[in-house]
Amino acid sequence: MKEKIIELLRNTCSGTPLSGVEMSNQLGISRVAIWKHLKQLKERGYGIVATPKGYLLKGGEDLMMPLFFTKRDDRIHLFKTLSSTMDKARELAREGAPHLSVVIAEEQSMGRGRLNRTWLSGKGGLWFTIILRPDLPPPLAFQVNFAASLTLARTLKSRYELPVSVKWPNDLLLDEKKLAGLLSEMETHGDMISFVNIGIGLNVNNTPEVGEPNSISIKSALEKSICRRELLSAFLDDFEKELMVLQSLKTYSVTLMEQWKQMTSTIGKDVRIETFGDIYRGVAVDVDLTGALIIREADGVEKKIIYGDCFHHNPNPA
Ligand code: BTN
């Protein structure tokens, strides 16, 4: 019922209130019952305001609270501030949080990126970690990262017509500038995956270019803010479907990697790969079925790189 009340109140964001009588008529429950639900929703932090003409929901279009995620609300964990959604997600996963639970933070004080980099996480961005319990053996777990970056790229392309590309291993670029980064952490139990947590930092309504000149947000690209909830919901729906396909295979997915390669801007570029101890340079020639990047070094020798941070050197070849 609370979900239905929120659904009705969502329309009041534009400023036209809805009375208790109207709600009780539309939902077929008493005004007292409506009032009790509204009280509980307010206690849970929903910005419901009583006016002489009825109730209003405050917070604009970009409402991120769990009940706004229809059918997912019990798996959405929203926080104003966290050190990192990765830490909270790990804690919840160890406590048994189910598959596709999502930890979202409006801000992170110690957001982290790959290779221990800092990830700037001010207000307006979408900073979240998805807890996954895929029915896959650990050596195939990397596929969920590729599925996540591919799905996110597709969601952004289809909903917002953003010409995004994926950069090996799992970044999203727009005009060769960083739009999103993915970070994953896994725990195993015996030869089973206990959980894989995928952290996604997506620049949405923030202005990351102030601190990171080589980055971009959806807002800067579209010159308008967008609803982060709609974007996240669409992505989660698409990703859930993609995961089901992946799990049904139980082996390396040729289709996944082919589709990912169709969206990558890494292949064909001069690249520099930084790992914890080494730097490699060459032309990116392929990404194989295990997700490894194949580069051709200056002496013509091909090298297989299984992890690292990749930098494109001729970002816009003629
Ligand atoms: C990278 O490109 O290096 C990966 C960046 C990942 C950032 C996200 S934001 C949500 C989640 N929490 C973190 O601390 N990091 C990931």
Q: Which atom of ligand 1 is nearest to the CA of 117?
A: 3
Pick the residue whose CA is nearest to atom 14 on ligand 1: 111
- Residues with Cβ within 8 Å of 307's Cβ and at least 6 positions away in sequence, in order, are 169, 275
pTM of the predicted model as reported, rounded to 2 decimal places: 0.88
| pLDDT tens per residue across all 318 residues of the chain | 888 898 888 776 666 888 999 999 999 999 999 999 999 888 777 888 889 988 988 765 567 888 888 889 899 999 989 999 999 999 999 999 999 999 999 999 999 999 889 999 999 999 999 999 999 999 999 999 999 999 999 999 999 999 999 999 999 999 999 999 999 999 999 889 999 999 999 999 999 988 888 999 999 999 999 989 989 999 999 999 999 999 999 899 999 999 999 999 999 999 999 998 899 999 999 999 999 999 999 999 999 999 999 999 865 544
DSSP state of 112: B
Q: Using only C-alpha atoms, what is the Rg of the chain?
A: 22
311 forms beta bridges with 272
Atom of ligand 1 lying closest to residue 83 CA: 14
The residue whose CA has the least distance to atom 3 of ligand 1 is 113
The residue whose CB lies within 8 Å of the most ligand 1 atoms, and thus the one to mutate among 85, 110, 119, 132, is 119
Give the Cα separation of 122 and 135 in Å (integer). 34
* Cα separation, 224 vs 204, whole angstroms: 10
Angle (CA) 37-41-42 rounded to 5° is 120
The finding on whether 168 has its CB within 6 A of some atom of ligand 1 is no
What is the reported pLDDT for 120?
Answer: 92
CA distances in angstroms from 234 to 33, 228, 237, 257, 290, listed in the order given: 32, 10, 5, 22, 28
For ligand 1, is residue 85 a contact (CB within 6 Å)? yes
Q: What is the atom index within ligand 1 of the atom nearest the CA of 114? A: 3
Mutate to test the pocket of ligand 1, among 112, 123, 131, 179 (most ligand atoms within 8 A of CB): 112
Is the shortest distance between the CB of 199 and ligand 1 below 6 Å? yes
Q: Which residue puts its alpha carbon closest to atom 2 of ligand 1?
A: 181
- For strands 126-132 and 302-305, give the pairing: unpaired
Copy the structure tokens of residue 61. 């279009």
Ligand 1 lined by 104 (C-beta under 6 Å): no
- Site to probe by mutation for ligand 1, drawn from 84, 183, 204, 206 as the one with most ligand atoms within 8 Å of Cβ, is 183
Q: Is 86 in the pocket of ligand 1 (CB under 6 A)?
A: yes
Closest CA to 141 of 198, 92, 199, 182: 198
Strand partners, 128: 104, 200
Determine the Cα–Cα distance for residues 252 and 234; give it in Å rounded to an integer. Answer: 26
Residue 119 Cβ contacting ligand 1 at under 6 Å: yes
CA of 271 from ligand 1 middle (Å) equals 22
**Strand arrangement of the beta sheet that strand 309-312 belongs to:** 302-305, 293-296, 279-287, 270-274, 309-312
């101890």: which residue's tokens? 277
The predicted pLDDT at position 133 comes to 97
CA dist., res. 66 & res. 3, Å (int): 10
Classify residue 181 as left (phi > 0), alpha (psi -120 to 50) or beta.
Answer: beta
